[in-house]
Amino acid sequence: MSLLEVKNLKVHFPVKQGVFSRVHAHVKAVDEVTLSVGVAETVGLVGESGCGKTTLGRAIIRLVEPTAGRVLFEGEDLTQLRGSALRSRRRKFQMVFQDPYGSLNPRMTVGQIIAEALDIHRLVDGAPARQQRVAELLRAVGLDPGHAQRYPHEFSGGQRQRIGIARALAVEPRLIVCDEPVSALDVSVQAQIINLLQDLQEQRGIAYLFIAHDLAVVEHISRRVLVMYLGKLVETADARGIIHAPKHPYTQALISAVPVVDPASKRRRIVLPGDVPSPIDPPSGCPFHPRCPVAEARCRVEVPLLREVSPGHWAACHLA
C-alpha cells in the first residue's frame, strides 16, 4: 500500500465580482489530480510558476481545503477529518517552505521555533527533555546545538532552511512536502540541502513530495517525476524516463531549457510561445494546444487523457 494516495483531487477557488460579491467563475488551480507516494520514496513535482504545484502540495496536507477528491494517508481519508482528529494526524505530514526566512517567526529563538511543535503534540515532558530534543534535532540537520538561543536573522539562507527542516523533523513525520526548498539558495548551498534531505530519508525512512521548477534538481533527488500544466498532470514516469525520453511536448520544452554540461550535446532549446493561459478559462481540448509546437486540429477539441504510453510511463497527449 502507498503511504499517500491522492485521487481525483480538485482545488477550485471562486472568483467574486460586483457589490454582492457573486461568484462568477472559478480558478481551477488543481483539477482531477491522481498520484501516489510510497514509503521512503521521493516523488518530484515540476512545472512552470502558476501551474498549481504549490496549491496541490498544500491541499494534500490540508493547508488549503480541497474542493473534491480524496487524500488517503496510510489508508485514511484526510479530507474527511476535522478539528482535533486532523490536528493529531498532522504529526505525520509536514511541509518545508521555499522561503526559509518568511516561514520562521523572527521574534522566536530557534529553540522556541523547534520546540513549538514538540509542545503542540506533547512529545516531550519537561524543560530538560525539550532542550535535549531540540539539541538532537539541530545536530541532525548539521547545526550547533548552541544555536538554539539565537534568532532566525542571525543565520544564512542555507542555515535557515536547515532550521525549517529541523522544525519539520521534530514531530517525526512520515511525509514531508518540500515546496521549492532550494530555489532561493545559492547553487553550492542547494547541493548541501539536497544531500541533507537524502541522508535524513535514509536514516528515518521519510517520504518526500519534492516540488520544484528546476528539473536538474528533481532528477537528482526523485525516483519518480510528475509534470503539471494548468492544474493537471500531463506526464508521469521514473526520473530517467522523464529526463531522457519525455513524451509530452510540454515536458520536452521544460527539459530543453535545462543547461547541458556536455558541449557536444545536440539538445535544441524549445521556446514556448505566449504565457500559461488563465486557469479561470482554460483552452478547449488539450489545454496546452495554444503553445504546443506540434498541435493538430483535433487537439483543439479533444481532451487527451493521461494514458500509459510505455510501461510505467504516462502522458496526456494525442501524439505521445
Rule CB under 6 A: which residues touch ligand SF4? Answer: 248-249, 286, 288-289, 292, 294-296, 299, 304, 317-319
**CB-nearer residue toward ligand SF4: 147 or 247:** 247
| Residue 184 and residue 98 in contact, taking contact as beta carbons nearer than 8 Å | yes
Tell me which amino acid residue 10 is.
K
The least distance separating ligand SF4 from the CB of residue 165, rounded to whole angstroms, comes to 37
**CB-nearer residue toward ligand SF4: 178 or 234:** 234
Tell me the three cell numbers of residue 208.
518526500
C-alpha span between 320 and 316 (Å, rounded): 8
Angle at 46 (CA atoms; ends 207, 246), nearest 5 degrees: 110
What does the chain come to in residues? 320
**Of 307, 286, 303, which is closest to residue 295 (Cα–Cα)?**
286
The least distance separating ligand SF4 from the CB of residue 234, rounded to whole angstroms, comes to 7
The least distance separating ligand SF4 from the CB of residue 302, rounded to whole angstroms, comes to 8
The least distance separating ligand SF4 from the CB of residue 294, rounded to whole angstroms, comes to 5
The least distance separating ligand SF4 from the CB of residue 293, rounded to whole angstroms, comes to 8
**CB-nearer residue toward ligand SF4: 196 or 319:** 319
**CB-nearer residue toward ligand SF4: 44 or 287:** 287
**CB-nearer residue toward ligand SF4: 33 or 299:** 299
Q: How many Cβ atoms sit within 10 Å of the Cβ of residue 304?
A: 20
Tell me the three cell numbers of residue 263.
558541449
The least distance separating ligand SF4 from the CB of residue 263, rounded to whole angstroms, comes to 31
**CB-nearer residue toward ligand SF4: 38 or 277:** 277
Per-position DSSP letters for 32-94, written without gaps between them = EEEEEE-TT-EEEEE--TTSSHHHHHHHHTTSS--SEEEEEETTEEGGG--HHHHHHHGGGEE
E strands, the chain, in order: 4-17, 22-37, 42-46, 68-73, 76-77, 93-96, 175-179, 207-212, 224-229, 232-238, 307-310, 313-315
The least distance separating ligand SF4 from the CB of residue 256, rounded to whole angstroms, comes to 15
**CB-nearer residue toward ligand SF4: 206 or 295:** 295
